[in-house]
């Protein structure tokens, strides 16, 4: 009898060990043996279940994750992620990324915005970027409010995006104050995307691209009315689209001239394009 009980116990133990995540699917058939996934969902069909796949929508049977940020190499939009989130006390750091595998410092790098622009147009934009991206990471549950505070506190004292006062180029953005060498800075401001043989259209604010939406010779970085419609940016419901009538049919705070979702239901929160979370932006707008 004792021997029989021992055999039964052994069989039960083996059976239990064969399903380590306890989801009812044996380990030898489970596409995520260490993560409960009773339905065995595998969106990308790579043999690795959604519950443990480091690239949920990209086939990646190797599951390589070189920078260890939890997003696989095959779908990582920001490879080589370094730990940049200060732990409590701020002396050590850990990794926290969004769904694309990008950390706050990769989305808002010290030497210029993501996308190839040489430098920030102003320090305010660098700080605003960090505010925006750390808010996203907090809402995604990747960082805590305290960790977000630490990141922003460090940014308040770092040297990123600080203007460099250079001879003949007060904001240090590479565009000379007197780029046409006429002897009169500002008499020929850059327009139409030009950045050479013209004067810096925002001589005290870094703007290496010299963007000037309304073509008035005052760069967007320092223009109080970017679209030139007579409505100051702070009060304009479409600051980059001229709309002097300020029409807003769905009353969502985003004017018709730039609203990609012009029929938003009342009282819905919308993004900068005028779209609520469930809405799809109109094409061709």
pLDDT tens-digit series, residues 113-123: 765 445 677 78
The string of pLDDT tens digits covering residues 72-92 is 888 888 888 888 888 765 568
Tokens of 46: 């790579």
Q: Quick one: which H or E segment has residue 150?
A: helix 145-155
Tokens of 96: 């926290």
The string of pLDDT tens digits covering residues 135-194 is 999 999 999 998 898 888 888 777 787 655 567 888 777 899 999 999 999 999 999 989
Position 285 confidence tier, pLDDT thresholds 50, 70, 90: very low
More confident residue, 282 or 254: 254
List CB contacts of 148: < 8 A, sequence separation 6 or more. 134, 135, 137, 138
pLDDT of residue 9: 46
Cα 55 off chain centre by: 19
Tell me the pTM.
Answer: 0.48
Give yes or no for residue 53 having a pLDDT over 60. Answer: yes
Tell which residue, 58, 109, 100, has the closest CA to residue 78: 100
- Using CB atoms within 10 A of its CB, is residue 130 exposed (0-12), middle (13-18) or buried (19+)? buried
Most confidently predicted of 49-58, 154-163, 237-246, 266-275: 237-246
For residue 169, give the DSSP letter.
B
Say whether 46 sits in a helix, a strand or coil. Answer: coil
Give yes or no for residue 33 having a pLDDT over 80. Answer: yes
pLDDT of residue 143: 92
pLDDT of residue 114: 64
pLDDT of residue 91: 65
The string of pLDDT tens digits covering residues 201-244 is 998 887 889 999 999 999 988 898 999 999 998 889 999 899 99
Mean of pLDDT over the chain? 83
Query: Exposure pattern of 158-183 as b/e (b: 16+ CB <10 Å)?
Result: eebbebeeeeebbbebebbbbbbeee
- Counting Cα atoms < 13 Å in the Cβ hemisphere of 119 gives 19
Q: Quick one: which H or E segment has residue 86?
A: strand 85-86
- Using CB atoms within 10 A of its CB, is residue 141 exposed (0-12), middle (13-18) or buried (19+)? exposed
The string of pLDDT tens digits covering residues 208-217 is 899 999 999 9
Separation CA 81–CA 185 (nearest Å): 43
| Neighbouring-strand partners of residue 76 | none
Distance (Å) of CA 274 to CA 128, 146, 246, 258: 20, 31, 14, 8
Four-residue CA torsion sign, 251, 255, 256, 259:
negative
Say whether 265 sits in a helix, a strand or coil. Answer: coil
Classify residue 179 as left (phi > 0), alpha (psi -120 to 50) or beta: alpha
């Amino acid at each position: 009898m004792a021997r029989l009980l021992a055999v039964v116990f052994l069989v039960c133990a083996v059976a239990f060990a064969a399903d380590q995540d306890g989801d009812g699917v044996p380990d030898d058939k489970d596409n995520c043996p260490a993560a409960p996934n009773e339905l065995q969902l595998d969106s990308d069909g790579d043999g690795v279940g959604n519950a443990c796949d480091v690239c949920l929508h990209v086939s990646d049977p190797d599951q390589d994750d070189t920078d260890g940020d939890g997003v696989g190499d095959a779908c990582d939009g920001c490879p080589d992620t370094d730990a940049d989130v200060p732990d409590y006390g701020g002396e050590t750091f850990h990794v926290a990324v969004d769904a694309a595998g990008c950390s706050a410092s990769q989305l808002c790098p010290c030497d210029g915005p993501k996308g190839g622009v040489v430098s920030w147009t102003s320090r305010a934009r660098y700080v605003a970027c960090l505010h925006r991206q750390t808010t996203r990471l907090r809402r995604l549950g990747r960082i805590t409010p305290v960790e977000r505070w630490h990141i922003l506190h460090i940014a308040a004292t770092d040297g990123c995006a600080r203007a460099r006062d250079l001879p003949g180029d007060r904001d240090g953005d590479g565009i000379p104050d007197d780029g046409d060498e006429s002897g009169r800075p500002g008499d020929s401001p850059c327009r139409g995307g030009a950045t050479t043989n013209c004067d810096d259209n925002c001589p005290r604010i870094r703007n290496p691209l010299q963007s000037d939406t309304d073509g008035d010779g005052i760069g967007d970085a320092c223009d109080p009315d970017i679209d030139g419609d007579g409505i100051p940016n702070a009060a304009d419901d479409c600051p980059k689209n001229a709309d002097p009538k300020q029409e807003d049919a769905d009353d969502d705070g985003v004017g018709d001239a730039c609203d990609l979702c012009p029929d938003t239901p009342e009282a819905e929160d919308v993004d900068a394009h005028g779209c609520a979370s469930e809405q799809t932006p109109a094409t061709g707008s």
